[in-house]
Amino acid sequence: MAFNNLKTALQIGQNKELYNEVVPLFNKNFNLFHATFENSSFENFPPLQVPFGSFNEVPAGSCLFYQKIERINTSNPLWFFAESDNIRYGFIAGEGLWKWYLTEYFQNSNHAITNELVLKTIQYLISNNRKEPLVIEIPLVMDQQKPILFNAKLYNASDELINDPDLLIDVLDEKGNVYPYQFQKSEETYFINIGNLPVGIYKFQARVRLGDELLKREGKFIVQESMIEHNGLVADHQLLYTLANEHSGQMYFPNQWNKLTENILKNNQIKPKIISERQFIDLIQFKWIFIVLLSLLSLEWFLRKYWGTI
């Protein structure tokens, strides 16, 4: 065949000029772009005419539709993609695609499915500047008192955000302990809150399987000690006002000292208090007193004896 002489990723071995009537069979493992249509959308579409023969597919290709021939599912590619030397190729192994376009409008009064199919195919083929397929977002340095939050993005081959596969992550501390987690899914991205961690240097390893490819990302982050005195350096006047109202108090600004003094003097609940404390202590605790008394008695005895009165 002239087509095989092009030496593309798709080779068709044809013995005779025969054709099969083929219905598309959607490949659920296809991951080059995100498709909203389902396999049932094509059940009532006219079949395509595909050359009869054997189809050889190289491992680098990804198949969007397989061939379904007379209610028999086959592994022959019908709508097929491949990439070689950073150049992307797309193949449709049959003819009569225009019939799908007319049939869909006749059935649904629109071209939503066929338009999406063609536009997504074109978008993939012209998308050359690929983003990193797996992106993990986390600050390098975090406070000990704040929870550790991870955000992640996963892109398919068409640079579309997806979050169908499960994204796993292992966090390793300095002692080599491993803490496994699984990301939660938002609308199109991933996130996870692993809570608080002790002060230290941590490493992480994230992994996700996208089709036949296992994507991995590694990194590290630091949890530092909280500096409470550095938090809230600006007075929160609204908070002070709320606290004052909740406790039947008032808030005063620096230029209202006179008003504060006046209100204190007028407040009958504010009265001076005299606190007295009486304490009884045994004299035996004062040893120096006994020493003085003993010294005086000894001196008196000596003087009396010296003067002859004893």
Cβ atoms of residues 224 and 202 within 8 Å: no
pLDDT score of 68 more than 60: yes
Give the tens place of pLDDT for each residue, 218-258: 999 999 987 665 556 666 777 777 777 777 777 777 787 78
Give the tens place of pLDDT for each residue, 157-174: 888 899 999 999 999 999
Tokens for 93? Answer: 């192994």
Buried b (16+ CB within 10 A) or exposed e, 115-126: eebeebbeebbe
Q: Could you identify the residue written with the tokens 């001196």? A: 299
CB-based contacts of 110, cutoff 8 Å, min separation 6: 104
End-to-end CA distance of the chain: 152
User: In this structure, which amino acid lies at residue 74?
Assistant: T
Q: Could you identify the residue written with the tokens 């099969």? A: 20
CA–CA dist 194, 187 (Å, integer): 20
pLDDT score of 60 more than 50: no
pLDDT score of 194 more than 90: yes
Which pLDDT score is estimated for 171?
Answer: 96
Residue 113 DSSP code: H
Give 103: exposed, middle or buried? Use CB within 10 Å, 0-12, 13-18, 19+.
Answer: middle
Whole-model pTM over 0.75: no
Element spanning 32, H or E: none
Which pLDDT score is estimated for 168?
Answer: 96
Beta-strand ranges (E) seen in 85-212 are 87-92, 134-137, 141-143, 149-154, 168-172, 178-182, 184-185, 190-193, 200-210
Q: Could you identify the residue written with the tokens 């599912």? A: 73
CA–CA dist 199, 176 (Å, integer): 15
Domains identified in the chain and CATH numbers: 4-126 (no CATH), 134-224 (2.60.40.10), 234-266 (no CATH)
